[in-house]
């Protein structure tokens, strides 16, 4: 393996782009630490010792969803026990509470609701804007945007323009899952295709909005599927430059319809993070989402090419419904401690990665 690894490592160190086949060869490498060191070096070239975090709050406006994805433990049918749908005013109140606690961003997502009209989503954004005028509204995955386009019969551009006028600032990266159609067919047959997810993001970026991108991994997909997912994101990023961070999400299996899969182990998670850093040479940030990674592995991930720990989060429901063992929230002190104890420099950022405050080593 060393024979194969060295020329690919040299290529990366020389600033050259690697191919899908080369990425697959890296995936076959069982020297985890060599991969991690390489990814960490690439990250250091971009971000130095700086590790970003933000003060944010997740708000799930509803778990009622017309799609029934096999991996999702969060969704409910409208009449099922535990189903909920917040009013725009309730979402606004949560945003006001978040702002009062110092949050700069709300991350607002929900299921594909069968009954709410487009005005519900506009009112939700307006209610947040009224209740917390300064807060950055990162809301609605590409899957929700597609739903709203079908609901209204409007083009993606018109839907995005209306949402933007009501207060939308950027989009999260959820709903990408894994683009490979054969796996998607088993995992989430009712969901939009991988190509449609990419088309929505093309419109999002074309409208001047920034977004993130995710990949759900460690379920039915192969390494080839993962690399294919990364290459499609890299290709779109070449065209639009609109992605800020890439966020690999390890599968959490509890209460899903695929519980026997267990999800990836720590070695596989670190390897996937490192390879993401190495393939996505046009992404500035690889986010280690501590909710899904677990807090301690997220800290270790800072030595494997990760340069962002997301944020305080406050109330996470999607990962925890599926058994994520992490806490509901981290304080700023927790995040500072984790980053410093990894030998890095914490930087509080805003939602578009402008620096809010640089913290020293201790
Ligand atoms: O879209 C659902 C995934 C996503 C499970 O953009 C699961 O800044 C693991 O997208 N196991 C929601 N993952 C989370 C998300 C996100 C999180 C943090 C930051 C950002 C950002 C985006 O979680 C869903 C889906 O892909 N998911 N169920 C599960 N059982």
Q: Tell me the ipTM for this assembly.
A: 0.99
Ligand 1 pocket (Cβ < 6 Å) reads 71-73, 141, 172-175, 177, 212, 214, 216, 247, 249, 251-252, 256, 289, 292, 310, 318-319, 322
Q: Sign (positive/negative) of CA torsion 328, 266, 194, 35?
A: positive
Query: Among residues 291, 285, 330, which one has the least CA distance to residue 308?
Result: 285
Closest ligand 1 atom, residue 214 Cα: 10
Res. 82: pLDDT tops 80: yes
Residue 14 CA, distance from chain mean position: 29
Out of 306, 319, 325, mutate this one to test ligand 1's pocket (max ligand atoms within 8 Å of CB): namely 319
- Give the tens place of pLDDT for each residue, 302-338: 999 999 999 999 889 999 999 999 999 999 999 999 9
Cα-based distances in Å from 143 to 77, 93, 154, 167, 205? 18, 25, 15, 19, 15
224 contacts: CB under 8 Å, gap ≥ 6: 24
Instruction: Tell whether the model's pLDDT for residue 179 goes beyond 90.
Output: yes
Confidence grade of residue 360 (pLDDT, cut at 50, 70, 90)? confident
Please spell the DSSP secondary structure of 67-86, one letter per residue. ---TT-SS-B-TTSTT--B-
Domains of the chain, CATH where assigned: 2-358 (3.20.20.70)
pLDDT of residue 315: 86
CA angle 269/270/271 to nearest 5° reads 90
Sheet holding 210-217: strands in order across? 56-60, 105-109, 136-139, 170-171, 210-217, 243-250, 285-286
Whose structure tokens read 């009112």? Answer: 123
């Amino acid at each position: 393996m060393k024979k194969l690894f060295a020329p690919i490592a040299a290529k990366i160190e020389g600033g050259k782009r690697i191919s899908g086949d080369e990425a697959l060869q890296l995936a076959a490498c069982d020297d985890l630490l060599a991969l991690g060191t390489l990814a960490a070096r690439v990250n250091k070239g971009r971000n130095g010792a700086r590790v970003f975090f933000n003060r944010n709050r997740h708000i799930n406006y509803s778990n009622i969803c017309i799609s029934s994805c096999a991996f999702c433990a969060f969704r409910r049918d409208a009449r099922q026990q535990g189903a909920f749908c917040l009013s725009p005013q309730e979402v606004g109140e949560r945003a006001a509470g978040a702002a009062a606690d110092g949050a700069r961003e709300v991350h607002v997502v929900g299921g594909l609701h069968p009954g709410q009209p487009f005005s519900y989503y506009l009112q939700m954004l307006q209610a947040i804007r009224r209740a917390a005028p300064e807060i950055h509204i990162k809301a609605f995955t590409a899957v929700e945007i597609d739903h709203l386009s079908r609901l209204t019969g409007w083009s993606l551009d018109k839907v995005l323009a209306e949402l933007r006028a009501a207060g939308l600032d950027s989009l999260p990266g959820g709903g990408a899952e894994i683009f490979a159609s054969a796996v998607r067919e088993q995992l989430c047959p009712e969901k939009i295709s991988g190509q449609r997810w990419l088309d929505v993001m093309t419109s999002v970026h074309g409208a001047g909005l920034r977004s993130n991108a995710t990949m759900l991994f460690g379920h039915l997909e192969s390494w080839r599927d993962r690399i294919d997912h990364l290459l499609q994101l890299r290709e779109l990023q070449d065209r639009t430059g609109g992605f800020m961070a890439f966020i690999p999400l390890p599968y959490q299996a509890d209460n899903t319809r695929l519980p026997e899969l267990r999800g990836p182990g720590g070695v596989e998670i670190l390897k996937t993070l490192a390879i993401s850093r190495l393939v996505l040479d046009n992404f500035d940030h690889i986010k280690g989402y501590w909710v899904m990674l677990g807090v301690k592995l997220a800290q270790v991930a800072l030595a494997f090419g990760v340069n962002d720990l997301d944020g305080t989060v406050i109330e996470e429901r999607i990962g925890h419904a599926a058994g994520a063992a992490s806490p509901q929230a981290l304080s700023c002190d927790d995040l500072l401690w984790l980053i410093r104890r990894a030998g890095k420099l914490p930087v509080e950022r805003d939602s578009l990665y402008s620096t809010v405050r640089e913290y020293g080593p201790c």
